[in-house]
Amino acid sequence: MKRLFIILVFSFILAVSSFAQEGMWLLSQLDQLDLNKKGLQIETSDIYNKDKPSLSNAIVILDGGTASFVSSEGLLITNHHVAFTALQRAATKDNDLITNGFLAKNRSDEITAQGYQAQLLVDMKDVTNEVLDAGKNISDITEKENAITKKIIEMTDAISKNKEDITANIAEMYNGKQYILFVYKTFKDVRLVYSPPLSIGEFGGETDNWMWPRHTGDFSFLRVYAAPDGTGKEYSPDNVPYKPKVWLKVAKDGLKEGDFTFILGYPGTTTRYRTSNSVDWNQNVNYPFSIKNFREIIDLSLNLTKNDNEGRIKVSSLVKGLSNGMKNYEGKVAGMKKTNFLQKKKDFEKEFSSWVNKDQGRVSKYGDIFKIDDELYGNLAKTKDRDLVFGIFQGLASTQLGIAMRIYGIKYQLEKPESERLPGFTEKGLQETFNNLEYAYANYFEPVDKALLVRALKMANELPQDQRIKGLEYVFNDKSKTIEQFVDDAFNTSKLKDVEYTKGMVKLSVKELEALNDPFIKMVASMNPENNEIQMNGLVFNAKVTDLRKRYIDGLFEWKGTGMYPDANRTLRFTSGNIKGYSPADGVMYSPFTTLKGVIQKNTGEEPFNVPDKLTELYNKKDYGRWEDPNLKDVPVAFTHQCDITGGNSGSPVMNAKGELIGLAFDGNYEAMISDWQYDYDLQRVISVDIRYVLFVTEKFSNAGFILNEMGLSHPN
């Protein structure tokens, strides 16, 4: 019991003085971490400084991942899988950039990364008091949360208004205990510079995904462009490479086990302070449904494109994303069950309740938390079958339906008086939908889209009587045609496959949209009452559970002290730890490094283990150049280390004790997939591609030494 208690304390209520490896820390918390005692050789002010340039000024949000500047000419480095969608959107059946890779031999050859934007943090400040004041005199929890949301929108819109390259976000920390304003400069002209072929950038594919040992060259280079005056404008031939204040320098020294490392990046979401009800819901409802759903869509997409190269390219980004998510969820469920995580959460909550019940003041503040939490999740379960299936219609039941639902939904809300609108529906959101419409069609392949809609309708038709989606009954009640025939007719009749036509819909009113008599608009309009009901239920649930989680966090602070990091929420974070292997099972010990030798040993000649001939030739000749590790006697490919990351960190720079670039984070290890819920000191590792492999492939394999020259790595004489 004593060991269990210690594990729980480290898992949920981290003391700052304990393992620095755990935690995705706010940059304002760096001085609390005693980093110099742990191995950092620079000052924390060199990492983040509000008043002068620091390493944090080199880090950007890029698509769903993170990237960093590595030259004075706006050159970015990130993961291959972060740049993958840009490759997919630019690829054609006659020019398969996904398989073959891409190299711009000069600036004029660089191609637009369609739909990509880079966001650079320019300001950050605590605005907790201002935000909370908006709801301080409101007793109803839902109304209070709505008032806070509206205040946040008002504050962020005031900052970005009439500024085409400035965006703002107010992020909630500790479930509403703290609010921090983040202001970003947004660059809308991002171009591809170099991506290795798939046989390097995605070597091992889904077989090796989340696994160690790993041999993937998961990297790509892009470039940020701006207008001559520095404004982050859309693509223009007049734009010039952006000149960042700070860019990362590549480490001159090699790596060894035990070396200190740190990461700056934008992790997505973690859930480390959730209750056992949330664990139960995800372990037994949400994750299993998503796993089954993703697997079926992947199989459907692959089967319908196996003999069609154009179709394969079109659905590749969808398949890749779903495959990654599916394996992630599978690992989470397996990890939860293997570690008996749900029961550990319940035991922890008993400890908390015991502490609460020893003081009447604490009882009045925290005594009803778990009772209310039970009720909230009980209500959620009543319509779970309908709600989960309904969610498919919002993005995974054909492109046209998803677009129709987005446009109609925003228009419907905007035509209401502002006081009656659901939070988050704005003219700005409508404009963003308009701007991004062409990218929504990038994955469009009609045979797959049709099959997705047929599948979703059949799932809806199988729902139990008390959880039917009433807005779809007109489809099922029409006995003159099958679901397949209904879908064929919808695709033959609708004009929503035409991007320009769809853009014109954005200007129409709800009545005008309905008058188009488009089958997808008709379906969305018919489903709209239930869509509103589900959205309202979600708002009520989120408002109440957020208030509850805030009180829970307050209790945890009171119980265990203030040494806690907030859950990740796509804001800039710091994590650190040492290079270290691990033991995944009894009698098994993994080294923290892999090498080019391992790449060659895995070669089968077929995807996903098809090693390019030139890479094999370089290995056989031992033509490693300056990238050979003197201890390994080989080119290092990847390494594992004890940092703490999650989705969104992909592409984050890994730095050594001197703040120099040593690699790119691209994965976690399968044995610790539960990491979004708890940190495991013994098992959790970050998998990063070694910068020496990145540079070896770039210089020796692709003859792109000019990229290294730009990074200040000209070959020594």
650 is catalytic: yes
Pick from 84, 221, 215, 205: which is nearest to 695 by CA? 221
Task: Report the DSSP beta bridge partners of residue 262.
Answer: 576, 655
629 is catalytic: no
81 is catalytic: yes
Q: How far apart are CA 640 and CA 650, in angstroms?
A: 14
**Residue 687: is it exposed, middle or buried by C-beta count within 10 angstroms (0-12/13-18/19+)?**
buried
Most distant CA pair in the chain, distance: 80
Q: What contacts 24+ positions apart, CB below 8 Å, involve 106-112?
A: 107/223, 107/241, 110/191, 110/192, 110/193, 110/223, 111/191, 111/192, 112/189, 112/190, 112/191, 112/192, 112/235
Residue among 80, 81, 215, 641 flagged as catalytic: 81
Task: Report the DSSP beta bridge partners of residue 68.
Answer: 59, 77
Listed in sequence order, the residues at least 6 apart from 612 whose beta carbon sits closer than 8 Å to its beta carbon are: 197, 199, 200, 701
Listed in sequence order, the residues at least 6 apart from 478 whose beta carbon sits closer than 8 Å to its beta carbon are: 486
Q: How far apart are CA 44 and CA 35, in angstroms?
A: 8
C-alpha 700: how far from chain center: 32
Query: For 476-490, b where at least 16 C-beta lie within 10 A, e where not — what string?
Result: eeeeeeebeebbeeb
Q: What contacts 24+ positions apart, CB below 8 Å, involve 381-384?
A: 381/285, 383/467, 383/534, 383/537, 384/285
Q: Is the dihedral of CA 197, 328, 13, 578 positive or negative?
A: negative
Q: How far apart are CA 496 and CA 485, in angstroms?
A: 18
Pick from 388, 287, 269: which is nearest to 333 by CA? 287
Pick from 233, 205, 203, 237: which is nearest to 217 by CA? 203
Unique residue bearing structure tokens 């639902």: 405
Residue among 208, 218, 634, 690 flagged as catalytic: 218
Residue among 290, 301, 316, 650 flagged as catalytic: 650
Q: How far apart are CA 233 and CA 285, in angstroms?
A: 44
Q: Which two tokens stand for residue 326?
A: 């599916």
Task: Report the DSSP beta bridge partners of residue 75.
Answer: 223
- Catalytic residue numbers, as ranges: 81, 218, 650
